[in-house]
Amino acid sequence: MATKNFFKENSFVILKDFIKEDVIKEIKNEIYIEIIKLLDILYKQNLISGQYKNDQLSADEKLLLAESEYIGTTILLHTRFASRLPKFIGEYLFRNTELLQVISELLESTEISGHPEWNVRCKTPSNRYFEVPWHQDTAYLSKGSEIFNQITCWLTLVDINDTVLGPLELIPKALSDKTVYKHQLEKLKNSQYHDSWYLEVPVEEIPHTTPSQIITGLGAGSIVLFSNLTLHKSLPNLSKQKEIRWTIDIRFQKTQDPSGFYPLDQSNNETKMKLTTSQLNSNDNNNTNTNSNNSIVPLDIDYQKWSNESNLMTKDNVENNEEDLSNYSIEGPWFDRWLVDK
């Protein structure tokens, strides 16, 4: 109840060391496998040299080396995960029983679905492409979707003890406050950001009645839960030791609500990634919301659907491993929304 009350009053809550250490290790191993797959493709297309093949280098060192040769490396790694669900995110995070119990409490529903946006973020030092400006998550969705409560789960895979690695910064506010602030495309603000895909709340629009909070003191496995209307940003990675800030963010919603990926009047036929339900199905023992101990039993995820689609980002680059990776631009439906509403 304390967690729920704090979330209602502040639109965020911190749960330290929530995901177990062995799970974090498995997640990182899966990410490292994808790093090597990507670097092999970049090498094949003559975009990087073969230095990364040095077995004495860690996966982080290989990624940093590749990025020094080809600036689009970390962006391409980001797009390999964006809206194409890896099984390790589905099983370790979306179907995490303890996490679903918290989400169910905060959304006040037993009918929970995974939202079709998730990200693996590798914030390398002094990389402006992963310095995310002030925004609300709902701004990336269809107009009107802000009336439906959605919760972002921001998970750190590394220790964030201070401001060096580029922590999360947010502005607390009551969950009942449904204000959507004016956003603009960062790429239109300054020619330096001509290839940015981010939205940004202009400085003059940011409320100053409540001080922002920089979220530090987090061990690997800690999570921050916040609403789709919470103003937040990430600070730059200033590490002199060439450390990478690894985080994952996923989102949850009530199954009955639209995701916001489509205009609200076109959302009736939208497929949902159902994770919990109160409806019993006598033909499927797994299709229950709780077991005899009254703990949530997550539903199975259809990976054939969710692992093969890119629902959010429209890219010119990675439809498959054989396509040209020399163009790493990212676009999305929010471009049209905020070009119109500028």
Local structure of 22: helix, strand or coil: helix
Which of 32-41, 146-155, 275-284 shows the lowest mean pLDDT across its residues? 275-284
Dihedral, 78, 80, 84, 86 alpha carbons, nearest 10: -90
> Which of 127, 168, 177, 205 lies closest to 14, judged by CA?
168
What's the pLDDT tens digit per position in 290-320?
555 567 889 999 999 998 755 444 444 444 4
Domains of the chain and CATH, by start: 2-340 (2.60.120.620)
Dihedral sign, Cα of residue 192, residue 198, residue 202, residue 207: negative
Query: Would the pLDDT of 325 be above 90?
Result: no
- Does residue 181 contact residue 269 with C-beta atoms inside 8 Å? no
What is d(CA 290, CA 330) in angstroms, rounded to the nearest whole number? 40
Q: What is the pLDDT of residues 127-175, one digit of tens each?
A: 988 999 999 999 999 999 999 999 999 999 999 999 999 999 999 999 9
